[in-house]
Structure 1
Amino acid sequence: MTTEAPPRSTLTTEETPMATLNRRPVSTRRELAEASGLSITTLERLYRERDENGHPEPAGTIDRELVWYSADWRKWYAGHTDVEKLESRDQLAERTGLGRSTLELLWRQKDENGHIEPKKVVSGVMYWGSKEWDTWYAGYKANQEWRTEIDYSGNADDEITLSQAARVLNMEPTSITKYPVRPPRHWPDPVREETTDKGRSKRWYRRGDIWKYGELRERGGGRPAGSTAATGRRYPYDGDPRLDQARAAIKASPEATNADLAGQLAREHDGSAGTWSHIVASARQNPED
């Protein structure tokens, strides 16, 4: 979707308002609307949001109408609509290759991921500084290295078992067997539950709810909700189930090189050998959990 450029002020030095205050030309809101092409409603909103956008205060009133120094307002509006060095969400998507839906999700989750605030909001469109956004996103990605890739195939309303949910999350089934009784934050309730002939509980989950958990999950995976245990990463891939897989591979083949183990683990558990090489290196440096 192409975002239209915000309207620019069309006031010129030749368009001198009739009224003056302190010997300086002033304009009413109606006159500003006519000169800039903005609606009265938009101008009222910009004025209400002056604490955020720096809109100038009125110079005073004429016949009970608020007026602004024309030159001051024109200078402010030119700066307010100048987004040449900023990027909208559409521009970020085009430059980074991230989908718009992903960028929208990152913004909705700003309370959890620390997404930076936009530099400007012009005509309802948010704009960020490229360097500031890239710095934030690099930190965000580094903090997400422990996450596994989510399998988004299938229908969101499908009912799936716990072991199938593990495959959706690209995790070992044994790593989430405790989730129903010791649920991590955001883990969904099952849509139905049955007792087998052997007296065991079998649960089915909505696939879309598992997707949502995968997007919202926090470090620690199976830590019970309300736990006060620290969630900070002690070392690379701390809390990632793949770290235990790497430790097991090292224990089974202590003489193997990191590259050999990374290739083996990539074949056995999917993922790239490059990522697995980092996981193996962390496992060697931190052999015990």
Structure 2
Amino acid sequence: MHTIDGRQWATREDLIESSGYSRTTIADLWRDRETNGHPQPRVIDRAMHWDLEEWTHWFEQHRQQASAPASRSAPASRVDRSGDPDELLPPAAQARVLGVDPSRITQYGKKPPEGWPAPAHVEQLATRTREYRTRRQLWQFADNSPGFGTAGGRPSGPTAKAPDPRVRQAALALKAAPDMKPGEVAAALAQQHGGSVHTWKRIITEARKTA
């Protein structure tokens, strides 16, 4: 990200991070620039940069226009059914598909509701992990979760504490590797599914109580 004369200029990586959309989606928008009015870039340090304010304003208008037909046919629905079913989406984009606030996805990472899919891909960042899920996974979750197909995205009626699907994952892992120590199983689960070893140790303890 560069700041020139008080304006921020973003690389494609910056646009991906800012919008929450995947690299494929951002690249497709640039590919179709002649028909969608995509803003023109400025070359800085031999790399294309876009005026972030201009691009964000254009992107929001483009997104609203793209979703307008679906909104008219099903005005109460907040689930976005468009796009590639197998596209890997970061948390912000997952929230857009389900029509919920991004904080809801963050909360699901700590206390996943019943049916919340395991990540299709986990990216290890410097200080945390980022979980990716496909549109197909999110659509299936919405279809099986009352309320996500309607405005607000919240199931009706009293809410109950949903079982943590990670407990079942931990139980299966313990059963599959009876000779491994719980700490070793926790490390293997953290590497496979993301999250900290400490968190998985806690989940393993819970799994052993319910076994």
In the superposition, the TM-score normalised over structure 2's length comes to 0.35
Q: TM-score, normalised by structure 1?
A: 0.27
Q: Greater share of helix residues, 1 or 2?
A: 2
Which structure would you say has the larger RCO, counting Cα contacts within 8 Å and 6 or more residues apart? 2
